[in-house]
């Protein structure tokens, strides 16, 4: 297990801003027609940018942390748009490789009466060419947290090797390894993903998993059963959507914090926002309850906003709610409160 991330001092080369968090993964351009309009009938689409790991990075940066996004993009207009978008959130992007021979990934949203379908065009993308050497840059030295997700090992054999290298060889010395299970059924089936994601998660220090994912992958929604399936990590966080989330640490009793009520605008990105909030709480040395609260409050930002990246309130807004007594938090309803 690594040193506590708060005890790790940056050894970044002179001239570079030391990073607290390195987030690794693919970010794509998103094309979406007007709300409710099927893609096949659309004559115009909106262009945006989305990626789980860069979402986490962006939220952490807006919370005041030094974060770098590690990835590859194509040498094309979409790649330049992705890098510009991530950098605009305050994330360092000097670890992004521009690939002249592979395209930037793309996905399309297709609204329909039964929900929004997603169509990926990411096979052979620049990001799918990431490999274990991706983490060799000396600029990553001293990062306190390395954040990964279960999306990356589904992209290619070399990407899977990258994640295996990250969680086994621990190339970022002393960094806490954070892993969001993030199963994507469009990339690989539950049968394919279940053993791989369990093995990778069990080699990390901090794991985020939704109860719905745990049910799909491992046949259980019980946080204690998930903890038994993942005995090695120091901390496992099991999320139950609008109900709440449970932290299960190896050396302590489980801690459950209910989620505040919100008016949901869009579900996309809420898990990324939650992970960012929890990681920010860890970096700020908050106690387990406040880490979960900060995760919930960040998820509320995503749930009440359209798009993958929501605005973040001033820190004072969070402080008041993080310090609220239990009797004030439990019935917390943000539907009538500006978020």
The pLDDT, as a whole number, for residue 73 is 98
Q: In what order do the strands lie in the sheet with 21-24?
A: 96-99, 67-74, 21-24, 145-149, 176-180, 206-210, 235-240, 244-249, 255-258
Q: For residue 96, what are the β-bridge partners?
A: 71
Of residues 111 and 52, more confidence is placed in: 52
The pLDDT, as a whole number, for residue 76 is 97
Out of 272, 285, 308, 333, pick the active-site residue: 272
Tokens 């004072």 correspond to: 316
CA 158 to chain centre: 20
Mean pLDDT lowest for which of 17-26, 139-148, 298-307? 298-307
Mean pLDDT of the chain: 90
CA gap 5, 79 in Å, rounded: 32
Q: Is pLDDT of 184 > 90?
A: yes
Of residues 4 and 181, more confidence is placed in: 181
Average of pLDDT values for 231-248? 96
Q: What is the pLDDT of residues 265-275, one digit of tens each?
A: 767 778 999 99
Average of pLDDT values for 147-176? 97
Q: Is pLDDT of 335 > 80?
A: no
Determine contact, residues 265/303, Cβ cutoff 8 Å: yes
Q: Is pLDDT of 102 > 90?
A: yes
CA gap 71, 263 in Å, rounded: 34
Which residues are CB-contacts of 124 (< 8 A; sequence separation ≥ 6)?
102, 103
Give catalytic status of residue 285 as yes or no: no
Is the whole model's pTM more than 0.85, yes or no?
Answer: yes
Average of pLDDT values for 66-91? 97
The CATH homologous superfamily for domain 22-129 is Ribokinase (3.40.1190.20)
The pLDDT, as a whole number, for residue 126 is 98
Determine contact, residues 106/121, Cβ cutoff 8 Å: yes
Mean pLDDT lowest for which of 150-159, 269-278, 299-308? 299-308
Confidence of residue 112 (pLDDT cuts 50, 70, 90): confident
The pLDDT, as a whole number, for residue 110 is 87
Q: What is the pLDDT of residues 113-153, one digit of tens each?
A: 777 788 899 999 999 999 999 999 999 999 999 999 999 99
């Amino acid at each position: 297990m690594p040193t506590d991330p708060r005890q790790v001092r940056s050894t970044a080369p002179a001239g570079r801003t030391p990073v607290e968090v390195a987030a690794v993964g693919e970010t794509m351009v998103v094309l979406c027609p007007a709300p409710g309009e099927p893609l096949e009938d659309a004559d115009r689409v909106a262009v945006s940018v989305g990626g789980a790991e860069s979402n986490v990075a962006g939220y952490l940066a807006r919370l005041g942390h030094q974060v770098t996004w590690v990835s590859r993009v194509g040498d094309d207009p979409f790649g330049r748009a992705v890098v510009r978008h991530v950098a605009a959130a305050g994330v360092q992007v000097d670890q992004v490789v521009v690939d002249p021979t592979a395209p930037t990934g793309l996905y399309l949203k297709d609204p329909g009466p039964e929900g929004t379908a997603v169509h990926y065009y990411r096979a052979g993308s620049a990001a799918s060419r990431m490999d274990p050497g991706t983490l060799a840059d000396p600029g990553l030295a001293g990062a306190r947290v390395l954040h990964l997700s279960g999306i990356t090992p589904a992209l290619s054999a070399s990407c899977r090797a990258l994640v295996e290298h990250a969680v086994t060889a621990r190339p970022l010395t002393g960094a806490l390894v954070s892993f969001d299970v993030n199963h994507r059924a469009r990339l690989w089936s539950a049968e394919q993903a279940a053993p791989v994601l369990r093995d990778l998660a069990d080699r990390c220090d901090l794991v985020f998993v939704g109860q719905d994912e745990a049910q799909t992958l491992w046949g259980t929604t019980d946080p204690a059963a998930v903890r038994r399936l993942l005995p090695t990590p120091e901390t496992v966080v099991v999320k139950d959507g609008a109900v709440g989330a449970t932290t299960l640490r190896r050396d302590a009793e489980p801690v459950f914090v209910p989620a505040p009520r919100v008016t949901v605008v869009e579900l996309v990105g809420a898990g990324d926002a939650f992970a960012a909030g929890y990681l920010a709480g860890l970096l700020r040395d908050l106690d387990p309850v406040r880490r979960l609260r900060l995760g919930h409050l960040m998820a509320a930002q995503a749930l009440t906003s359209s798009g993958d990246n929501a605005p973040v309130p001033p820190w004072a807004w969070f402080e008041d709610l993080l310090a609220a007594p239990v009797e004030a938090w439990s019935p917390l309803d943000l539907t009538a409160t500006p978020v």
